[in-house]
Every structure is written in structure tokens, then in C-alpha cells.
Chains A and B, each alone.
Chain A
Amino acid sequence: MIFFSFLKHFKPPRSLGFTPFGAAVVLLTVGVGLAAMNTGNNLVYMVFGMMLGLITASGILSEINLRHLEIDWIFPMEVYAKKTFTIRMLVRNQKEKIPSFGINTALEISLNQKKNEWVETNFLMVSAKSQKNSDIQILPEKRGELEIKALKIETQFPFSFFKKYFIRPIDKKLIVYPQLIQIPHLSLKMPYAESQTADHQKGFGDSFWGIKEFSEGDNPKNILWKSSAKFSKLMVRETEKEREKEIFVTLLPEEEWLQLKIEELEAAISFTASFLDNIFKQGIAVGLISNDFIQKPSTDRKNLIQIFTFLALFSPKKGGSRQRAFKENWGEPPLEILSLWKKQ
């Protein structure tokens, strides 16, 4: 055990593979060695030495090339189907004086647990004590889960005899949101686009609600100095709570979605996402409900992203009693997006 742990210090954590050119060179070297032994020609021995020297130099230089490299990457915040996105790879060369050449970084990706694929980008030269970045462009074909499984750093420098590389696992999953498409302007009737109830409440907002006496915790900014002078005590302004315009979309009943063909399902989901995105951009709060998911209407982008995440992984199921529960809680029926898509 001690022996193996001792040996570990001398074994670099890298893998080595031949390129076709390198394999030919190694075979040729063996051939030249045999020819030298056969002929006894000393100049052929020199050529044999040259080839061995080149192979060794290749090993040493590629080892130096890969040492003290730091790799970092930046994933995009949002990824949509059929829209190219960029992963930025950063290579930092921590060596004191020696640059690194011909660095190839690759990511192993798999969309919806299907075939693994390597996507790569190259760095011609990363100078000593500096960093360089290069982008990998990926076009996801479908919505779903894009798994980034591993990172590979490879170099064929200096002579393309060998591929020296190491692979590090990355457990990263990107959600590919449904494709956003152009949809025609929709004139939606209230109550879908407006507040359904007319109840006014005091709270945060700009509209005036009333005046009250200052108490601890009130914002000093709201002190009305004229009224305070009038009442001889600190008076503060109260505001009416802002109510948002909102739209609530439902995927229920999901049985109807089940009847759609795959292409239709994808198109409907894409329409839903695009519709919600459009509405959201108009400043209207959006929400979504389905059997497994509920997102109350909100103008917060985080909520929209949560809806997109749900839509990215959405696959309709039978059953569910959400619709009734919804009616009990909120009263008004939400917008059935599937009917709207069918009309469109």
C-alpha cells in the first residue's frame, strides 16, 4: 500500500492516447530501429535516436503545457430550445513564465438523457499568468434537461503525436426552456388581464390612503411636516397597496394535452411559454397552474422562470383534482391556454 501511495506521486492524473499520425510515427520508429539493427548503418541509428527524441520531447512539452492550468466556465442564466446559447470557457495559465499552446476544452453534454456529445473550443495560446476565454455555441433541439457531465482538457501540442487529456466530472444540469416564438397580439378581455376584485387595502404603493400618527417602524420619509405642525405631533402619510394586473393560466385538464401528438404538444408548450413571456413583458403578473404545479401570478421574473422550468419538464398526466380546488380557493376560472392555442 505504501509503495502504491508512493508511486502515486509520480503518476500524473492524465490520460494518454495516440493520434493516427502518432501511431504511424511510433510504428515507423520501431521500423527504423529494426532497420538500423539490420543494416548497422550508424546514420540510421541517428535517425532512430531523432525519432525517440521527438517522441520524448512531445511527452515532456505536452506535460508542461497542461500543468498549472485552471479552467472555469460560465453558463448562461436562461437557455431556450432552438436558440443558440453560449458557454464561456475560461482558461487561466498559472505558470510563471511558460505559455500554454493548443489547449482544447470540451464539455460532455446530453439532452434529456439521450446520446452524449462532446462540444469543444480551442485556445491557441494562453500566456503565462494570464487568462483567455473562448465560447462554446450549443443549439438545443428540444426543451428539457441538458446535462453537462464532464469537462475534458486536451492538448496535442507540440507534434500531434499524442492526445494528452484529463476528464473531470461535472454534475451540472441546465434547464432548456421551451422555444419562444412570435405570437400575434392577443386582445384579452377582463377579468383575465385586470384585477378581478375591487377591494382596496392600505399598504406599499404611491396612491394616498390617509394620515396617521407616527409610530415606531414608520418610514421617516413619509412624515408630513405641515400636518405635524398642525397637529403638534408627528403625522405620517399612509399609502394604498398597489394591486397588479394579472393573468392566471391553466394547463388543466391535462387529459386534453395527452391527446396531442408530440409535435403538437411541443408547439402548444412553446405557445404557452411565449404567451406568458409576452404578457410578462407588458408588465402583467403571470401565474400558472397544473396538476403538479402552482405559481401565483407575479411580476417577479423569478416566478416566470419557475413557470418556464415547469414547462420545460412538463409532460401531461392523467387524473388530478386541482381544478376543483382552484375554484374553491380563487373562484374565477383561469385562462385555458390549450383552448387559446387551438383558436390560434
Chain B
Amino acid sequence: MEETVKLQNITLKSVWGLASLSLISLLLTKELGLLEIFLIFIFLPFGFYFELKGKLFKKRWLENSLILFLFVLTLFLFLGTKRSFLIVIADFLIGFILLKCTFKKDRKDIMQIIALSFFILLSASTLALDFSYFLCFIFYVLSAAWTLTFFSLTEKNLKTIVFDQKEQAKTPEIKTLYKFIAKNCWLTLGLVFIFSIAIFIFFPRMSLAVFQGAFLGPVQTAGISDKMHLVQSGKIFEDPAIVMRVEIQPQDRNRLNSFFIRGQTLSSFDGIEWKAEGKKGKSNVQDAYMSRVLKIQKIIKNDFKILDWDRDALKKEFGLNLNERSFLTQKIYLESLNNYLIFGLPWIDFLSAKLPEVTILEDHAILRPPNFGGRLFYEARSLIERPKETLLSKKTVESGIKWEDQEIIEKNLKLPKINLEKIKDLAQEIVSEKEPPYIKAKKIERYLSKNYTYALNIKTKNFSNPTEEFLFKTKAGHCEYFASAMALMLRLENIPTRIATGFILNEWNPSGNYYTVRFKDAHSWVEVYIGGLWIEFDPSPRNYVPDLAKTSLLGKIKEKMDYWNFLWNAYILGYDMESQKKLAKTVEFKSNQLSSKLDRTFGNWRSKYLKAEKLKFMSRKRGGLSSPELFTRNFLWFLAFVLFIGVGVGLGTIVLYKKMKFYLYKYKIKKTLPNIAFYLTMLKILKRFGFNKRESETPYEFLYKLQKNISPALLNNELDSSLVFLTELFYKARFSTLITNKEETSNIKKSLELLRHQLKKLKIL
């Protein structure tokens, strides 16, 4: 009874633990809203407290009504709002499990909580982005194994599970039970690891995407949109959430001359807001999107040509001799965003991504197709080499290479319909009219970065012309003010200019050789059209963040943690069919290497000993194969033969071992238990006369059977008494006293003799 109470209590506590762990895994995805977090932190601890106190109640109708209400609410949220399907499902599961936990439970409820916790883990797996999921996964496996074991052990004993406070101190038996179940949990974890790794590596990545397009929407908000409102912006610069990681080889890092990660450009300005209106695009379709009802599509990696450089013109006009070192390839691990932009270093000319198509806009911004806003890994190649200043400063707006349409140039010269007199005066103060565009741009860039300060908390009073207020009153602002002011001044100087938005590479992680890009790294700068090229200028005097790891221990820890997350992203989340193929190729390559190494080793051996008669057949040329080829083929056959023999010997050993174990056991019985040898002899005698003892029979049962089967007429007293004597003596010898008595030993001999004699008689009769 005491054991039952203990099992009951431990099952109940374990199930609470399992539910909590699954909810923690969901919390760590950082995708939950405040309400969900609040509910979890209220219901879980209080529910557990009341469970321990035995104050939870059971009202099935109330529970079912609440679950039904939750279901209807979820349906409404999914159909009525634009919330992501995954988030809606996660919310529903949270509500369901919390409801189940806060009512009194029976075995059915416990089973439901276990199942719900599993679905929550599954839900977390679709939302999780970082390494913390892996830790939750490990703890979940251990906890699930523990809970399921106790759930299984209470199966026969308990129909209702209620926490009982009468639990006594742990008995040694319960301690042993805990110890071995804990061991089993670790064993289970080991097996789970083996299977997970095997499945992870070898299971095919079909990526069929059935329903995926219909249900899965973007999860995280990017904060980057088609608009840039000067007064309202600012909050994004305080958000530390990671947007992407940009992997660049350390040797290439030195070649970086600009640290911009470009998203798109904004050309239209009304004095307050920059917009990306009316941009024309061109689709680059690699893999036709099958727009069927189920939206089935196999997603594979495709290569997209974004820009086609006129190499001759670039060489002629700007002295750019494009070679491998002119370009830089970045591996970008983009998190889930609510826009469809592809980010990268400016002047991307080549893209490789698991996308069916991309749209290239007129400003060379790249868009993913709809429903592909989730996590994405891609490789982008950008032209990083820029024309020399001396050459650029000689160019006018229209001289150089002809690249853009007149319409685009005009769009980027358009001025807002506000009073720009003061700004124009300031521009004319900074630059002279005759100076070439590049010099003008450089002067304005330098003027702004030297005379104005960078600040995030700006209190704007003049809402109609915030740029003017920035330039003449506050003299402080964030990057958008600087970029806006520069763009406006250059447009006033009749130089086509546009605002570029994106991020800045700020936080280098030396452990993983990548830049961590966060929302707070959002940045805007300007692109100026000079000689047919859009050249970047950054007027913001932004302070660059030094390497965290060099500053403090906490920084180092943060850097390492981020590196683990990066590895998780790159090798776990980013592992796909291409990676599988790559791995298979690596294995093939390595095995070939090993094979040729062995070949060489055996080749030496062959050349040394081939003269021997036995190996001469290897050197003979057969079927057009030369001697070394023939040797390689023979060697492979030899390897296969050795493998076959090895497997055969292995299996044979197992069988032999099993057989030997059986005989050894029998021998051991005879050797160590001479006491019962007489009984075995008796059985042998009886078997000879057709009375065979079944394995399932106890000696007494066998005796009873004998007494019954031998007809009373033949079963004389002598035979009966010897059988009874030997059987009873067996029990005595087997389970208690050793036979040392000489008299008993002689009696055994006599009885066995008698038995043999009587049975012979019986046979004759």
C-alpha cells in the first residue's frame, strides 16, 4: 500500500515536471505573447501547489466546456486574424495543458497531459531558433522516460491518481527502484541520441511542403518595411533580437570596405516619410511553383543571376579589372521575418538559395516569393571592389556607363513639396556648384558626420519638416535623419540620390567567423548615382561596437553562446539534402582516399611478394585489365570475403556462446550443486521409461502426475515411497539443507536402484 502511494505521488509529480519542461521549451522560442507567459507563470506554480495540498477538484463538464471554448477561440484567431498558424496552435496547446493541469486528474488525464506535452515539444520544434531547444529536448527525453515508466508501473495498481500526503520516508526498495529507473532513463536517452543522429543524417529531406504554403506564415517582425518615417522611427535601434548571421571567411574580412547589409532603397520623399513606391520588378524563376490546391512543391537549392556586369565598361570607365578578389561570398543565416527581402552586402550579383524564384526590383533589391518568409540560408556574392576616388571624382552624373533609365534618375531627383530654402542654402554653403558629384557627396557626408551628433531619443517639434529641425535646431538624430538630410541636400544639388535601408555589420564573432546582425543594427545610408553607378555614402557618425569578447567575461560567454546558436543554425537547422549529398561525397572521397592508401600499402607488399607462386594469378592480365587494376579488384573481393567470413564467424560465435552458456550452466549445476544430482538422475531414469518431466512442472506436480499415471495396481508401495522420498529430498537439498548424512546418501542410492528395478518390472508387465 505504501509503495502504491509512493508510485502515485511520483507519477503525479513527474507529469507536472514533464508539462513544465514542455512549456519551458515553448517559452524559450521567444515567440509567445505576454498573455501566454503570464498564464504559464500563474497557472503552473499555483496549480502544483494546490495539487500538493490536494485542493484541486474535478468537474468534467466545466473542463470540457473550457476546452471547447478554447478550441472555438483558436479557430477564430486562425481564421479571423492573420496570426501564424504555428503560434495559434502553440497558444491552443498551452491553454489545453494548463486546463488539464489545474483540475484533479485520473489516469486518462495523466495520459492526455503526457500527449499534450509531446505536442508542445513538437510545436516548439517548429518555432525554436536557437540552441536552448536542444537542452530542453535532452531534459524532455529524460523526463518523458521517467514519467512514462512510472505511468506504466502504476497501470495495474492505480485507477485514480491523487496526491497523498501520507507518504513515508523512502524505503530501500523504493530507492533501488528510483536508481534503476534513472539508469533506464539514461539508456533511453542514449538510444534516442543514436536514433536522432541517424535519422538526422540519413533520413531523406524531401521538403514536399504540403500545406506549408497554406498555413505557415512569418513569425518574427523585422521592423524593416517599405516606409521610413523620420519621427516615428527609433525603437528598432534598441531591439537586441538577432536578424541574421553573416558568415565571412576571416581572410575575406580584411577585404571588406563597406559594412552595409543592404535590403532595399527608398526614393519617394514627402518631407516626413521615405517610401519605396512604384518599383518595377523582374522575376527570376528557377523552379515553377505548382499552384495546386495542396501547394505541393519540392524545394531545392537554386542559383539566381541578379546582376550582369558590363566588365569592359567597368574597366574602361572606372579601371575595375574584375577578378575573383573583386567579389566576396557571404553565407547568410536569415531568421524568420515578416518581409520578403534578401539581404546582403551591396551589389549582389549572384544568389544561391532554396527558393523557387526571386524578384529583382529596379533598385536591385531582391524579394523572395510569398509564403517564403521563414528562416532561410543562402549564399550571396557581392562585388566589393569600388572605383578609385580619383576616377569617381572626375565623373558627372551621366558620364560613365549607361545603366539606369531616365525615369529612375528622375525619381531619385524629385523633391518634396515643402520649404527647402534653408536646406538649399546650407548645401550651397558646404559645396560649390562646379564641383563634381562625388566631391559634393563626400563634403556633405563629412560635414554631417563632423557637425552633428548621433542620438536616439529625439523630441521633434516641427512635424512638417523634421529634416530642417535636425539640421538647424536639434543638430542630433539617428541614421535616418543623417541619410535624409544628405539625400535632400544632394537632390537639391541635382544629384540623383536615394536612401538605402538595411543593417550594419557591427558585431564580429571570432569563434565562428561571422557577424551577428541584430535589429538594433538597423541602419540607413545614401546611394548616390555617379557615372552610372550607385555609390554608398554614410553620413551617420555612429559609434561602432567593439568586440564584446575583448571587453568582459560576460561578453566572452555571450559570444560563445551565440557561437553555439550559430552552429545550431548552420549545421542542425540548416542541414538539408545538399548537406546530405555533400556528406555522402565527403565519405566517398575519404573512403577512396583510404582505399588508395591501402592500395599503395598492399601494392608495395605485392611488388615484394608477387613473385611467390601463390600470388602469381594476381599479376596476370585478364579481360583487358592491367595488373594494378586487377589487383585492386581482387583486393576488393578479398575485403568482401574477409567481411563475409568475419560476419559469419561473429554470428557463429554468438550461437556457440549461447550453446556453451547452456552447457556450462548444466555443468555448473552438477558441479556446484551435487546435492540435486540424484534428482537429475531420477529424471533421467524416468525419462528412459517414458515419464518425462515438463519444464513448467514443479517436482511435486510431477510426482502427482506420476502417481496418477501409473495405475494403482502397478504403483506398489516401494515404487511410490522411493518417488516420494527422492522428491521430498530434492526440495530439502535444493532449498535448504546440504546432504552430508551417509545414511541419506546410501538411501538415495538404494531408492534409485529400486526405482530402476521397479520401472523395469513395470515395463515387462
Contacts and interface: CB of A to CB of B under 8 A. Distances in A.
Interface stretch (B120-128, B379-387, B528-536): B120-128
Contacts of A127: 173, 176
B212 A37 contact: no
B180 A98 contact: yes
Most buried by B among A21, A44, A72: A21
Nearest to A97: B180
Interface of A: 6, 9, 21, 24, 28, 32-33, 36-50, 52-54, 56-57, 60-61, 72-73, 98-99, 101-102, 104, 120, 122, 124-125, 127, 151, 156-160, 168-172
Interface stretch (B147-155, B307-315, B684-692): B147-155
Contacts, number: 163
Given A32-B122, A38-B210, A172-B701, 17 more contacts: A41-B126, A44-B122, A45-B196, A45-B199, A45-B200, A49-B192, A49-B196, A50-B196, A54-B188, A57-B187, A73-B698, A99-B177, A99-B180, A125-B173, A158-B181, A159-B145, A170-B696
Most buried by B among A28, A50, A158, A160: A50
A128 B106 CA distance: 33
Contacts of B141: 50, 53-54
Contacts of A125: 173, 176-177
B421 to A, nearest CB: 58
20 contacts: A6-B655, A9-B658, A40-B206, A42-B574, A44-B122, A46-B196, A46-B199, A50-B137, A50-B195, A53-B196, A57-B184, A61-B188, A99-B177, A101-B177, A122-B156, A124-B177, A127-B173, A159-B148, A159-B149, A160-B151
B617 interface: no
Contact of B148 (A44, A50, A158): A158
What bracket does the count of chain B residues touching chain A fall in? 35 or more
Given A49-B192, A54-B145, A151-B696, A160 B155 contact: yes
B113 to A, nearest CB: 13
Contacts of A52: 195, 199
B125 A43 contact: yes
Contacts of B206: 37-38, 40
Closest 9 CB pairs of A and B: A49-B196, A53-B192, A40-B207, A43-B125, A53-B195, A160-B152, A49-B199, A57-B188, A159-B148
Interface string B1-40: 0010001000000000000000000000000000000000
A169 B701 CA distance: 14
B191 A158 contact: no
B227 interface: no
Interface of B: 3, 7, 111, 115, 118, 121-122, 125-126, 128, 133, 137, 141, 144-145, 148-149, 151-153, 155-157, 173, 176-177, 180-181, 184, 187-188, 191-200, 203-212, 299, 572-576, 654-655, 658, 694-698, 701
Contacts of B573: 42-43
B376 to A, nearest CB: 12
Contact of A122 (B115, B157, B203): B157
B188 A156 contact: no
A156 B125 CA distance: 29
Contacts of B203: 33, 36-37, 45, 48
Contact of A40 (B199, B205, B654): B205
Contacts of B173: 125, 127
A125 B188 CA distance: 19
A49 B203 CA distance: 10
Contacts of B133: 43
A12 to B, nearest CB: 12
Nearest to B124: A43
B152 A53 contact: no
A72 B695 CA distance: 11
Nearest to A65: B184
A193 B184 CA distance: 69
Given A72-B698, A124-B153, A39 B137 contact: no
A124 B176 CA distance: 12
B558 to A, nearest CB: 23
Contacts of B151: 159-160
Nearest to A21: B111
A158 B180 CA distance: 11
A256 to B, nearest CB: 31
Contacts of A39: 126, 207, 209, 212
